[in-house]
Structure 1
Amino acid sequence: MADTVEHFTAIYQRACERKGGEAALKALISKPLPPAKLAQLPDSLLLAELTKKVFQSGFVWRVVRQKWPGFCELFFDFDIEKVLLLSDEMLEQKAADPRIIRNLNKVFTIRDNALMIFDVQQQEVQQKVQQEQQSFARFVADWPTENIIGLWAYLKKHGARLGGNTGPYALRAIGKDTFLLTQEIEGYLRAYNVFDGGINSQRSLKQIQQQFNLWQQQSGLSLQEVSQIVALSCGENHVGMQR
């Protein structure tokens, strides 16, 4: 990690100046859900958000939003058990329905990611002596944020099409505390030589995680807040403009 990386106080002050003051900056910053609330979310909601981000990846987000009611209707509001009962033939039929975005490979990820969620449920039940209700939401909520890249890796390995920025964006959408590697943040990190390889290599991700952990210690803020403030402190962000 580079010794010249700014203290978070300097980043925060610059973001305030660029956005028109501290009050204006705070109005642009959102916070993650508390882990206790995240753990209570239904797994159907998590599967829905994973699906939404898979379909938004490389596509016009507005179109995905417009067709989202069709997704909910065709996939039983993302009920995990019902989705897992869908055969390949059923998925092929649904992938041809004009109510959704007709992409067969991405449609198959819905069942694949439902299986990942179901597998976590079963693993957690087996590991618990007390049979309290377990869920994928609790699994995500309990994951330590100081190793959030480990959760990214888990989604990439065990899920479908959740690599790159798709998994992190899905986590942000459901309320899990995570930083994002936006263009602004990548540009900042490269300018200060926080990492020196490909941004998605394990070595680079560990270096980036270490830097965000340091900023979090310096600021007392969540990774999500730190991430947004860093992004708003550089690049093309100016007064009155959001990312």
Structure 2
Amino acid sequence: MTTAESFQRIYQRACDRKGGEAALAALLGHSASAAEISVIPDNLLLGELTKKVFQSGFVWRVVRQKWPGFCEVFFDFDIEKILLMSDEMLEAKARDERIIRNAAKVFTIRDNALMIDDIAAKHGSFARFIADWPTTDIIGLWAYLKQHGARLGGNTGPYALRAIGKDTFILSTDVEAYLRASNVFDGGINSKRSLAQIQQQFNLWQQQSGSSLQHISQIIALSVGENYLGMQQ
């Protein structure tokens, strides 16, 4: 049985640790509206997916530094141009010094372009598909990206969604530790059962607070662990 606290208690502890409501608010990110997400061009969305794929297991700063090179090498992630690239072209691109040379990850660019193109054919645009997905089942969108995309499992898909403004929680180390200690789930973090239990708890906290999933997960992380920013330890 879960022993998770009310969101108000979690929020108050985070405020105490960070030096008050204003200080805490300054640390939080913000999600975009469905209307704002729905008009993002598909090439920019492919770019965000690609950036998170390359950042997974790597130094994020290096990916950011190399990003202009990625845009040059991959035609600003133009979907039609990416889909025309042969295996030989992708292999050649993977050797380009302007990017991080990882052939397996380079091939995901075309794979994810195929996913975006397929979704756009069915829903008008990939952006509209993302915008319309209900956040009360955000784990369902994670699962869709993992199943139909390339290397978008784990936290890669959620981080990509957050980067484009889609409201989502992130199962960071601190968040996972809190949820496990509170008996929100007791199995593997990525099992369907565990994710459903976690989604249910986040939905409850959202009902209690009216806050976004992003703010809830960030506030949980800031309420635990070694992160007394803004306060003397």
Tell whether the structures are fold-level matches, with TM greater than 0.5: yes
User: Structure 2 length as normaliser, TM-score?
Assistant: 0.98
SS of the residue corresponding to residue 28 of structure 1 reads coil
Amino acid at match of 1:25: L
Structure 2: 5+ residue stretches without partners? none
Q: In the alignment, what sits opposite 1:28?
A: 27
SS of the residue corresponding to residue 45 of structure 1 reads helix
Q: In the alignment, what sits opposite 2:114?
A: 115
> Percent identical across equivalent pairs?
76
Out of 182, 187, 199, the residue aligned to residue 172 of structure 2 is 182
Structure 1: 5+ residue stretches without partners? 125-133
Quick one: distance in 1 between partners of 2:4 and 2:112?
38
Consecutive aligned runs of 4 or more in structure 1 exceeding 3 Å deviation: none
CA deviation after TM superposition for structure 1 residue 237, in Å: 1.4
* Residues 160-196 of structure 1: per-residue CA shift (max 9 Å, x gap): 0000010000000000000000000000001111001
Q: In the alignment, what sits opposite 2:229?
A: 239
CA deviation after TM superposition for structure 1 residue 95, in Å: 0.2
Q: In the alignment, what sits opposite 1:152?
A: 142
Quick one: distance in 1 between partners of 2:217 and 2:182?
16
Quick one: distance in 2 between partners of 1:23 and 1:59?
33
Do structure 1's residue 48 and structure 2's residue 47 form an aligned pair? yes
CA deviation after TM superposition for structure 1 residue 38, in Å: 0.5
Do structure 1's residue 136 and structure 2's residue 140 form an aligned pair? no
SS of the residue corresponding to residue 26 of structure 2 reads helix
CA deviation after TM superposition for structure 1 residue 51, in Å: 0.1
Do structure 1's residue 63 and structure 2's residue 53 form an aligned pair? no
CA deviation after TM superposition for structure 1 residue 240, in Å: 2.1
Q: In the alignment, what sits opposite 2:196?
A: 206
Quick one: distance in 2 between partners of 1:99 and 1:25?
39
CA deviation after TM superposition for structure 1 residue 123, in Å: 1.6
Quick one: distance in 2 between partners of 1:70 and 1:5?
45
Amino acid at match of 1:49: E
Q: In the alignment, what sits opposite 1:91?
A: 90
CA deviation after TM superposition for structure 1 residue 239, in Å: 3.0
CA deviation after TM superposition for structure 1 residue 150, in Å: 0.2
Q: In the alignment, what sits opposite 1:129?
A: none
Quick one: distance in 2 between partners of 1:85 and 1:231?
43
Quick one: distance in 2 between partners of 1:147 and 1:104?
33
User: C-alpha root-mean-square deviation of aligned residues, in Å?
Assistant: 0.9
Quick one: distance in 2 between partners of 1:71 and 1:238?
37
Quick one: distance in 2 between partners of 1:221 and 1:168?
18
SS of the residue corresponding to residue 108 of structure 1 reads helix
SS of the residue corresponding to residue 30 of structure 2 reads coil
Q: In the alignment, what sits opposite 2:16?
A: 17
SS of the residue corresponding to residue 197 of structure 1 reads coil
Amino acid at match of 1:136: F
